[in-house]
Amino acid sequence: MTDKVLQLAAEIEKLTEIVPAVEAKAFLKARFNLLVSELSTYLGFAQTLKG
């Protein structure tokens, strides 16, 4: 499970390099029905992993 979360966080990080985080959140929420709280967690992982 942890691997999946980290993998998803890495993919979201790649997406936010292309489009702003706000647009990425809106897209992922609309397209994949992800909760905003989950998206914030994934974005937080991505920022933490960058160090």
In terms of pTM, does the model score above 0.85? no
What's residue 27's pLDDT?
93
The count of other CB atoms within 10 Å of the CB of residue 25 is: 20
Q: Where are the domains positioned within the chain?
A: 2-50
Q: Which regions of the chain are under pLDDT 50?
A: none
Q: Give me the pLDDT at residue 1, please.
A: 67
**What was the pLDDT predicted at 45?**
75
pLDDT at 50: 65
Sign of CA dihedral 35, 1, 31, 11: positive
